[in-house]
């Protein structure tokens, strides 16, 4: 991939590649923290604990937060899972989460093999629950389940479109609450299952042990698709996420179909491969001649053009950007998923319960998908709905 952008963006590439190549990871460890592209500020209880006080989870999360370890795990698996409800399962914190993750994955993929609205909603809900935290408004907010438990899905305009996934989370919670899970963990596990349920989506390292809160979270901390670069960069800096980390996180729009930013174009995707976690999104935001139905948020256009973020944005364009983006996204999402959590040191890693990584994907209905993307007939509600369900498109 030809690239002549900033040093910062080049470092973003290296941060992502370190996940796949140990030598690159060693190089990243040796680099001064201030020169790494990713966010490195410690959060929660890890900001005050000494190294000698850290558990293995505390050490692992600290390493991820400081760019010294990968936030992605493509290989772990959970074998010989004990039967649900048995004493053996109860002894392993992760056991019940294997059953939950399997249930989630079944609901998140359609017959085309693409992830669907349940997966997309789960990822967005994970962002919105954790993203209510900021240094300015702390200690309230963060990954505490309050988006669902305080009824914010239904009462806050920025959560428009999350009502269905919030309802689904309540159903899963009622099904599994007897096993001492929390809504906060359920939301973040849902986001990570939703990510890897999308073809090419990374297996983001997943931790459980968050505490629930039904206290409404602070308002004004969730970004808008109409925000400019200045506001977005400032908003995320207040969450300990720098400009490069912000660019990596907004790539989750790769799988999206918008419904409420422009209701007249409800169902239009944000790139040509909705339901697939690829880098087409980054290139097509920049492309003035993208297919007719590709919808672009003003916030994404602003970030793609701003001098502080455009270099990293371009670094993720094309197939060569997939590995770097997956790696960068994973590390930043581990951070996001732990905002407002003050017992990180006491948590348990359960990444092994996630579905397997899907490294390649070919759309089984590419001719029909191409027809949909290049037709600006907004009346194609059947095809939009099929895409939202992760299902094959047909024009019968």
- For residue 188, give every residue at least 6 positions away whose Cβ sits within 8 Å of its Cβ, in sequence order, or none: 126, 129, 130, 143, 206, 210, 337
Q: Phi first, then psi: what are they for 269, rounded to 5°?
A: -80, 165
Q: Is 157 exposed, middle or buried (0-12, 13-18, 19+ CB in 10 A)?
A: exposed
Q: Would you say 205 and 351 are in contact if contact means Cβ atoms under 8 Å apart?
A: yes
Q: Is 253 annotated as a binding residue?
A: yes
Q: Is 268 annotated as a binding residue?
A: no
Q: Would you say 201 and 195 are in contact if contact means Cβ atoms under 8 Å apart?
A: yes
Q: Is 144 annotated as a binding residue?
A: yes
Q: Is 326 annotated as a binding residue?
A: no
Q: Is 146 annotated as a binding residue?
A: yes
Q: List the catalytic residue out of 36, 120, 128, 335.
A: 128
**Partner residues linked to 109 by β-bridges:** 115
Q: Is 273 annotated as a binding residue?
A: yes
- Token pair 């770097």 in the structure block, residue: 324
Q: Is 111 annotated as a binding residue?
A: no
Is 128 a residue of the active site?
yes
Dihedral sign, Cα of residue 80, residue 84, residue 87, residue 93: positive
Among the listed residues 294, 301, 292, 276, the one whose alpha carbon sits nearest the alpha carbon of residue 359: 276
Q: Is 185 annotated as a binding residue?
A: no
- CA 308 distance to own-chain centroid: 22
Q: Is 299 annotated as a binding residue?
A: no
Q: Would you say 202 and 357 are in contact if contact means Cβ atoms under 8 Å apart?
A: yes
C-alpha dist (Å) from residue 296 to 262, 284, 286, 293, 334:
10, 9, 10, 10, 26
Binding-site residue ranges: 129, 142, 144, 146, 253-254, 271, 273, 278
Binding-site residue ranges for heme b: 253
Binding-site residue ranges for Ca(2+): 129, 142, 144, 146, 254, 271, 273, 278
Catalytic residues, which ones?
128
């Amino acid at each position: 991939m030809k690239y002549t952008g900033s040093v910062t963006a080049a470092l973003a590439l290296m941060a992502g590649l370190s996940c796949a190549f140990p030598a690159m990871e060693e190089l990243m460890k040796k680099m001064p923290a201030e020169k790494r592209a990713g966010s490195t500020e410690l959060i929660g209880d890890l900001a005050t604990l000494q190294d000698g006080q850290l558990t293995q989870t505390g050490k692992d999360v600290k390493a991820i937060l400081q760019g010294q370890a990968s936030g992605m795990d493509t290989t772990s698996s959970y074998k010989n899972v004990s039967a649900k409800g048995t004493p053996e399962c109860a002894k392993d914190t992760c056991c019940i989460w294997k059953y939950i993750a399997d249930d989630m994955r079944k609901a998140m993929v359609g017959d085309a093999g693409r992830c669907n609205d349940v997966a997309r909603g789960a990822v967005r809900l994970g962002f919105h629950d954790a993203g209510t935290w900021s240094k300015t408004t702390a200690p309230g907010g963060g990954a505490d389940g309050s988006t669902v438990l305080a009824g914010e899905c239904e009462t806050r305009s920025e959560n428009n479109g999350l009502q269905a996934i919030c309802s689904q989370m309540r159903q899963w919670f009622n099904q599994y609450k007897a096993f001492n899970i929390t809504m906060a963990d359920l939301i973040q596990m849902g986001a990570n299952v939703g990510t890897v349920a999308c073809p090419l989506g990374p297996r983001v390292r997943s931790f459980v042990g968050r505490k629930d809160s039904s206290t409404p979270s602070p308002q004004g901390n969730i970004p808008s698709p109409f925000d400019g670069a200045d506001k977005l960069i400032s908003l995320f800096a207040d969450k300990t996420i720098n400009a490069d980390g912000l660019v990596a996180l907004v790539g989750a729009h790769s799988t999206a179909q918008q419904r409420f930013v422009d209701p007249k174009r409800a169902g239009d995707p944000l790139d040509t491969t909705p339901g697939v976690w690829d880098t087409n999104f980054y290139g097509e935001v920049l492309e003035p001649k993208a297919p007719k139905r590709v919808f672009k948020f003003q916030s994404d256009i602003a970030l793609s053009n701003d001098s502080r973020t455009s270099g990293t944005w371009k670094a993720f364009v094309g197939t060569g950007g997939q590995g770097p983006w997956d790696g960068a996204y994973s590390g930043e999402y581990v951070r996001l998923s732990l905002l407002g959590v003050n017992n990180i040191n006491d948590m348990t890693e359960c990444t092994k319960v996630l579905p397997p990584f899907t490294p390649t994907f070919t759309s089984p209905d590419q001719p029909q998908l191409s027809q949909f993307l290049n037709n600006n007939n907004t009346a194609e509600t059947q095809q939009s709905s099929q895409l939202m369900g992760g299902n094959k498109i047909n024009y019968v």
